[in-house]
Amino acid sequence: MLLTGQSLADIGDILYIVSVISIIYRLTNSAISTALVPFIITSSMLISSLLTPIFTTKCPLNRLLTISQGCKTAVLVGLASYVEWVGAKPIVVYIYVMIAIIALLDGCANPIRQSLLPHYVEEKDLLRANSIAESVIQSIQVGSWFVGSSLLILFTPSQLLWVVVFLFFLATVLLNLLPDVPWKQSQQTKKRQLLVEGWQTILQSPVLKIAARMDLLESIAGAAWVAAILLVFVEEALQVSSQWWGYLNGIFFIGMIIGSMICLKWTSVVDRKKAVFICGGALLSAIFTLFFAFSPTALLALLCSFMIGICGQLKNIPQQTIVQTSVTKEKLPTVYTSLNVIVTGVFGISSFILGILSEWYGVRMVFVVSSMMLFVVSLIAYKNKKLFT
């Protein structure tokens, strides 16, 4: 029920972004105005991640997820109504404000979902559950972008928003049916303590400190794959049509699905050899990223993108399982929100810096930097492999 509800919400999120970007581009005919959408979403989600620990002490995690999704639905109804009501002349600033509110509500959803899994699944089945969840989520990523773009042929962007409202409503209903999980009501704890609790837990746990360092470096590496940089790589480095941008994205997510399915098929092997998969996955990701950087042909770049997707999941799933089992279930929400702050904040800054690097030194250099970051991740993982057993 958790996975189905979250899947409907994820499909809705992608269709919502497709709709909003289409609406803003139609209104402004400006790439800069359109590019503000992901910036607003990332910034708002970062703020939300910082504040999430306070809310996790107010009600059970499953209810917090339901409230967040319900409020997103209500705001989206307002956005869809506004766009429909004003017709061809909506004020873009108002749309930006509603996008920011939806992103604020969405910022806590992913850490809460990851924190809920250990409550609903026994520890021995956790790696298998993570593999299933990742397979479904990445499948949605592959399908929804293609379907979303195609739906714009059948529907106007404002009509597509109402489709998203329906999906969000169904997701809210399903999440509302989840059984309550144990939670600690902290009335006496100061808000400042709640905000730093996750950071303190990470600093006190050797394995979480290593995971945080790896996440930080991987966020820098992952920033190379933002749409703007990848599109430049396709057109300038590979010198092929912009359609290949879609192919590279699609094959990457397909690789992630296969990586998740490998973990699902051979759960016991991955569980016993977590350190091997974490170190090996990071190293192979670095190697294939370097090959990608210097790919002379689009087909070789496509193969590298596919392999990066597989290797990334072979590393991420066992690492996520280790994080989930390294602290008590009650501390997981604050730990995940702190890790999410690192990932979101560093990713946003790195995207900007790597964009400048692309302008100054060429787009291939961006992926060389990405590869170097992943090599360092593999070294950190190898040096601390005893922590991953």
Query: CA triplet 54, 55, 58: central angle to 5 degrees?
Result: 110
pLDDT for res 267:
86
Residue 172 lies inside a defined structural domain of this protein: yes
The mean-pLDDT minimum among 4-8, 38-42, 174-178, 259-263 falls in 38-42
Region of 329 on the Ramachandran plot (φ > 0 left; ψ -120 to 50 alpha; else beta): alpha
Provide the residue range defining the domain that includes 237. 191-388
Instruction: Give the pLDDT confidence of 178-202 residue by residue, as tens digits.
Output: 988 876 655 555 656 666 777 888 8
365 shares a domain with 277: yes
d(CA 144, CA 14): 6
How large is the average pLDDT for residues 118-146?
79
105 shares a domain with 49: yes
Q: What percent of the chain has pLDDT over 90?
A: 25
Contact (Cβ atoms closer than 8 angstroms) between residue 1 and residue 174: yes
Average pLDDT of the residues of the chain: 83
Instruction: Give the pLDDT confidence of 241-272 residue by residue, as tens digits.
Output: 767 877 887 788 889 889 988 988 888 898 88
pTM beyond 0.75: the answer is no
232 shares a domain with 369: yes
Total tally of structural domains belonging to the chain: 2
DSSP result, 233-276 = IIIIIS---THHHHHHHHHHHHHHHHHHHHHHHTHHHHHHTHHH
Q: Tokens for 13, please give them.
A: 């999120």
Residue 319 lies inside a defined structural domain of this protein: yes
347 shares a domain with 272: yes
Residue 232 lies inside a defined structural domain of this protein: yes
Q: Which residue matches tokens 């506004």?
A: 82
313 shares a domain with 225: yes
Residue 326 has pLDDT above 80, yes or no: yes
Contact (Cβ atoms closer than 8 angstroms) between residue 226 and residue 353: no
Question: For position 25, which CATH number holds?
Answer: 1.20.1250.20
Compute the chain's Rg from CA coordinates: 21
d(CA 102, CA 65): 13
End-of-domain residue from the set 176, 210, 245: 176
Cβ-in-10-Å burial (0-12, 13-18, 19+) of 150 comes to exposed
d(CA 52, CA 104): 10
End-of-domain residue from the set 122, 148, 176: 176
Q: What percent of the chain has pLDDT over 70?
A: 92
Q: Tokens for 165, please give them.
A: 């409202």
349 shares a domain with 262: yes
Higher-confidence residue of 335 and 72: namely 72
d(CA 83, CA 104): 20
Nearest to 212 by CA among 313, 122, 120, 337: 337
The Cβ-side half-sphere exposure at 101, using a 13 Å CA radius, reads 16
162 shares a domain with 196: no
pLDDT for res 277:
92
Residue 87 lies inside a defined structural domain of this protein: yes
Q: Which residue matches tokens 């990586």?
A: 259
pLDDT for res 293:
92
Nearest to 218 by CA among 139, 304, 315: 315
296 shares a domain with 199: yes
What is the rounded (10 degree) CA torsion for 129, 130, 132, 138?
160
339 shares a domain with 306: yes
How many CB atoms are located within 10 Å of the residue 368 CB? 18
pLDDT for res 241:
78
d(CA 365, CA 375): 15
Nearest to 344 by CA among 51, 4, 98: 51
DSSP assigned state of 330: G
d(CA 136, CA 257): 8
Residue 183 lies inside a defined structural domain of this protein: no
Residue 353 has pLDDT above 80, yes or no: yes
End-of-domain residue from the set 144, 176, 208: 176
Could you give the 3-state DSSP secondary structure of residue 380?
helix
Residue 376 has pLDDT above 90, yes or no: yes
Query: CA triplet 78, 83, 88: central angle to 5 degrees?
Result: 165
372 shares a domain with 281: yes
Task: Say which residues have a Cβ less than 8 Å from residue 188's Cβ, sequence separation at least 6.
Answer: none
Q: How many residues does the chain have?
A: 389
221 shares a domain with 279: yes
Residue 135 lies inside a defined structural domain of this protein: yes
253 shares a domain with 142: no
Residue 80 has pLDDT above 70, yes or no: yes
Residue 181 lies inside a defined structural domain of this protein: no
DSSP assigned state of 223: G
pLDDT for res 162:
92
